[in-house]
Amino acid sequence: MPILYNDSTREFHLQTPKTSYIFSILENDQLGHLYYGKKLRHRQSFDRLFHVGESPNTACVNEGDLVFSLDLIKQEYPAYGTTDFREPAYQILQESGSRVTHFVYRDHQIYQGKKKLKGLPATYAENEDEATTLEISLADEKTGVEIRLLYTVFEELNAIARSAEFINHGQSEVNLARALSASIDLPGSDFEMVQLSGSWARERHVKERKLVPGIQSIASTRGTSSAQQNPFLALKRPNTTEHQGEVYGFSLVYSGNFLAQVEVDHYDVTRLMIGINPFDFNWLLKSKESFQTPEVVMVYSEEGLNGMSQTYHRLYRTRLARGKWRDRERPVLINNWEATYFNFNDKKILELAKASKELGVELFVLDDGWFGKRDDDTTSLGDWSVDRRKLPNGITRLAKDINELGLEFGLWFEPEMVSKASELYKAHPEWVIHVPDRSMSHGRNQFVLDFSRQEVVDFIHGLMADVLRDAPISYVKWDMNRYMTEIGSLDLPANRQREVAHRYILGVYSLYERLTNEFPDVLFESCAGGGSRFDPGLLHYAPQGWTSDDTDAVERLKIQYGTSMVYPTSSMGAHVSAVPNHQVGRVTSLETRANVAYFGAFGYELDVTMMTEEEKEEVKQQIRFYKANRTLIQQGQFYRIESPFAEEGNITSWMVVSEDQAEAILGYYQVLSRPNPGFTRIFFQGLNPEFEYAIEGLEGTFYGDELMNAGLQLNRYRVNGHPADFSSIIYKLEQV
Ligand code: DGJ
């Protein structure tokens, strides 16, 4: 049984084959945390894991007793206001002004499967026996509020999903000033915090720091999960590497403002909490209303960071992403953005499409600039009807022409935005997120539509659905190119203005939900000025996302390496683009650009009509290689081997291995060429030690144990016979 409850000790034991998560109902009927980590044998009582010492100088709950203090107790979903002085998981502001609550255990139920979270993306079980759920109900008598804590154990996938629901059964309204998804207190603070941080064009770089007493956190206040911080945080032991050692991962299935915080207290207890950012958040909960927090997915691994990542990859690829495209091979696409930017017409597009088809491309994506009068980024967002100056025969005709060339057709939208120079803004200036009587900041000359309003979402839905119904469109790129400012909605009263950012995200999810249901054959790719909203929330609807606007092969090593910490290769849009690279000006070989982009949802983003015959031949071969191996790449087990974030960081390597271990592909990348480099070995990962492998291009065969333990000695590798910067090798292994 993945979830056990012991009536006499009042303990819960959640278990997967490799993990135990244990907590109990305390003597005051609150919940206390006992253990999270490597699997423990189940026993009658884990009481001895409950540590509470006499503290000479702290506040205690019961008069006459100097022991029972929440200051000293590890908790499950803590509150502030009595004897715990750390930051809490939630805070409820009551009509009286009081913030003190006392939530005690009321009852619980354990059932097979997993319920949907209303209005929110979440992991799911396809069959009931894949997951077991525990729902614990806590009640606060004075307010009449109930907190329902949800825990779902994915036994085979070694993960636990948590969230909380607040239900107001009382007569009075209350305000949720803070409602995080989960909190956990771990004994000791000998951890390093791993986070994925960056900015536009350098998203999700791996950063690590040692924990110190006090609060350390990452957060977003930008209205999206953001390029600056990803809604993910891991705690690893100092000696944990990619391949061994303990790590705890916490990944929030949410696309808006979030907080992931670690507080190390005076007894070296590490409290981690994650959820909607309480900063600038408040939710008015009227009588009979409920509020559901997003879900956090917790993964414990003692097989290093790779072990944690592989769990996320499997869970997110198969039980977070959904729809027809979830398990399908993703098409090799070409996107016209870096080839033409706004400057195209139907002739140019058809030329590009024709040349791409000859190279083996399967899907043509028409990016920004096809609608309204959009010759630059100052106009037309919101006017989702075709620009006949550029495309005189319309989108439907163009899509059909492209189909006739033998390609699928995909289209770009930026549904959440409006330009001032647009019909939509003229008709509905009140539909923009803003605060009356204050100036409105812009980002890329555009403004954010108020998706907290149902009518706005309905209106945009109507426009998009019309286009998708009329034209044979099999792919949608859903972009979002600015962060939110002056967050306010004309549709909500003063005391609900702090709900806008979250309501906006719920609006985005609801539009995704409708469109993906109505157009189940369409492959959605999420995007936000590159990877500014690359998160598990959107992965639920869009099984792939544009990883970054930075398409430089060297920069992509860091971006894709960091992204793979949580997200599967199948989710990472990765394109070969032109050189000099448009973001950093670097010139890398066509070979290296493809060798990096192979490890994602592969495509091209350059003017293929300008290529030499030799380059075209090379591209044809690249596409043949990718098509022959894409199931392995998109669905295989991914291993990071050498990190671009290592001290020198000159070498990156990674590989994918098929489930049956009969096939693998390794990518090895060197940034700068080194003089007289001596011996270099690559240590493969994840092979079967017993299997004998042939490596394409190398003589003889190799056993898995040799490749993993003794490594493969690299010849000095060269580009066109010479040592070179930005060089790379791909090794394809096959069991003989
Ligand atoms: C930002 C995206 O990341 C790009 O790929 C491209 O679609 C542009 N927006 C278009 O405006």
Cite the active site residues.
479, 549
pLDDT (tens digit per residue) in 298-356: 999 999 999 999 999 999 999 999 999 999 999 999 999 999 999 999 999 999 999 99
Ligand 1 atom closest to 548 (CA)? 3
Give the model's pLDDT for residue 57.
82
Task: Ligand 1 pocket test: pick from 337, 476, 546 the residue with the most ligand atoms within 8 Å of its Cβ.
Answer: 337
Residue 535 confidence (pLDDT) above 90: yes
Q: Mean per-residue pLDDT for 403-429?
A: 98
- pLDDT band for position 435 (cuts 50, 70, 90): very high
> From the CB of 550, is ligand 1 less than 6 Å away?
no
Task: Find out whether 220 and 469 touch, Cβ atoms under 8 Å.
Answer: no
The residues facing 637 across adjacent strands are 657
Q: Is the pLDDT of residue 720 over 90?
A: no
Q: What is the rounded end-to-end Cα distance, in angstroms, of the chain?
A: 41
Q: 368 CB less than 6 Å from ligand 1? A: yes
d(CA 349, CA 475): 17
- How far apart CA 372 and CA 701 sit, in angstroms, is 59
Report the alpha-carbon distance of residue 511 to residue 457 in Å, rounded. 7
C-alpha 725 – ligand 1 centre gap (Å): 29
User: Ligand 1: does its nearest atom lie under 6 Å from the Cβ of 570?
Assistant: no
- Mutate which of 546, 548, 550, 604 to test ligand 1's pocket (most atoms within 8 Å of Cβ)? 546
**Of 154, 114, 113, 232, the residue nearest 539 (C-alpha):** 232
Q: What is the pLDDT of residue 602?
A: 98
Average pLDDT over residues 557-561: 98
Instruction: Choose the residue to mutate in 334, 335, 445, 549 for probing ligand 1, maximizing ligand atoms within 8 Å of C-beta.
Output: 549
Average pLDDT, the chain: 97
DSSP secondary structure, 701-715, as one string: EEEHHIIIII-EEPP
> pLDDT grade, residue 58 (50/70/90)?
confident
- Phi, psi (rounded to 5 degrees) for 14: -100, 130
Q: Is 476 in the pocket of ligand 1 (CB under 6 A)?
A: no
Q: Is 605 in the pocket of ligand 1 (CB under 6 A)?
A: no
Q: Which atom of ligand 1 is nearest to the CA of 367?
A: 7
CA of 368 to the centre of ligand 1 (A): 7
**367 Cβ inside 6 Å of ligand 1:** yes
pLDDT at 218 over 60: yes
- Exposed/middle/buried for 732, CB within 10 Å: 0-12, 13-18, 19+? middle
670 sits in the region (left: phi over 0; alpha: psi -120 to 50; else beta) called beta
Weakest-pLDDT range from 53-57, 78-82, 319-323, 584-588: 53-57
Quick one: which atom of ligand 1 is closest to the CA of 605?
Answer: 5
The Å distance, Cα 595 to ligand 1 centre, comes to: 23
Q: Is 412 touching ligand 1 by the criterion CB < 6 Å?
A: yes
Give the pLDDT confidence score for residue 716 in this predicted structure: 60
Neighbours of 440 (CB within 10 A): 14
More confident residue, 110 or 60: 110
Q: What count of other Cβ atoms lies within 10 Å of the Cβ of residue 35?
A: 17
Stretch 543-572: mean pLDDT: 98
Residue with the nearest Cα to atom 1 of ligand 1? 529
Please give the distance, rounded to the nearest whole angstrom, from the Cα atom of residue 200 to the centre of ligand 1: 12
Tokens of 673: 């060429």
Is the pLDDT at 723 greater than 80? The verdict is no
Q: Is the CB of 530 under 6 A from ligand 1?
A: yes
Cα–Cα separations (whole angstroms), residue 439 to 377, 422, 436, 485, 668: 20, 19, 8, 10, 51
Per CATH, 333-636 and 642-735 having the same topology is answered no
**Which atom of ligand 1 is the closest one to the Cα of 337?**
6
pLDDT band at 533 (very low <50, low <70, confident <90, very high): very high
Distance 442 CA to ligand 1 centre (A): 17
Q: What is the pLDDT of residue 718?
A: 61
> What is the Cα–Cα distance from 449 to 624, expressed in whole angstroms?
42
Q: What are phi and psi of 299, to 5 degrees?
A: -130, 125
* Residue closest to 199 by CA, chosen among 225, 226, 228: 228
Query: What is the average per-residue pLDDT within 377-391?
Result: 98
| Confidence class for position 544, pLDDT limits 50, 70, 90 | very high
543 lines ligand 1 (CB under 6 A): no
Architecture of domain 642-735: Sandwich (2.60)
pLDDT digits (tens, 9 = 90+) for 257-298: 999 999 999 999 999 999 999 999 999 999 999 999 999 999
Evaluate: CB of 546 within 6 angstroms of ligand 1: yes
What pLDDT score does 714 carry?
83
| Residue-level pLDDT at 717 | 59
CA of 530 to the centre of ligand 1 (A): 7
pLDDT of residue 376: 98
- DSSP codes joined into one string, 568-610: -GGGEEEEEE-SS-TTT-----HHHHHHHHTSSEEEEES-GGG
With a 6 A CB cut-off, is 479 part of the ligand 1 pocket? yes
Cα of 408 to ligand 1 centre, how many Å? 20
Q: Whose alpha carbon is nearest atom 9 of ligand 1?
A: 529
Decide: 549 in ligand 1 pocket, CB within 6 A: yes
CATH class held by domain 333-636: alpha beta
pLDDT at 722 > cutoff 90: no
CATH T-level topology, domain 74-319: Beta-galactosidase; Chain A, domain 5 (2.70.98)
CA 459 to chain centre: 28
Task: Work out which ligand 1 atom sits closest to the CA atom of 546.
Answer: 3
Mean pLDDT of all residues in 675-679: 83
CA distance 484 to 419: 14
| CA distance readout (Å), 13 to 6, 25, 39, 72 | 8, 12, 10, 22
- The token duo for 669 is 């990348």
What angle separates helix 590-597 from helix 613-635, to the nearest 10 degrees? 20
Whole-angstrom distance, CA of residue 19 vs CA of residue 314: 17
Stretch 426-445: mean pLDDT: 97
Compute the chain's Rg from CA coordinates.
Answer: 27
Question: How much distance in Å is there from the Cα of 136 to the middle of ligand 1?
Answer: 44
- Mean pLDDT computed over 70-79: 95
Task: Answer yes or no: is pLDDT of 489 > 60.
Answer: yes
Residue 719 has pLDDT above 60, yes or no: no
- Tell me how far the alpha carbon of residue 378 lies from the centroid of ligand 1, in angstroms: 14
Residue 481 beta carbon below 6 angstroms from any ligand 1 atom: yes
Ligand 1 centre distance from Cα of residue 669 (Å): 27
Any ligand 1 atom below 6 A from CB of 527: yes
Report residue 67's pLDDT band, with 50, 70 and 90 as the boundaries: confident
Give the integer Cα–Cα distance in Å for 33 and 222.
33
User: Residue of the nearest CA to atom 10 in ligand 1?
Assistant: 368
What value does the mean pLDDT take over residues 222-236? Answer: 98
Q: Quote the tokens at residue 181.
A: 């998804």
Task: Tell me how far the alpha carbon of residue 275 lies from the centroid of ligand 1, in angstroms.
Answer: 28
Model confidence at 406: pLDDT above 90: yes
Structural domain spans, the chain = 74-319, 333-636, 642-735
- What is the per-residue pLDDT across 600-642, written as a single tens digit (0 to 9) for each? 999 999 999 999 999 999 999 999 999 999 999 999 999 999 9
Percent pLDDT > 90 in the chain is: 95
Three-state SS for 434?
coil
Substitution site in 224, 381, 412, 544 for ligand 1 pocket (most atoms within 8 Å of beta carbon): 412
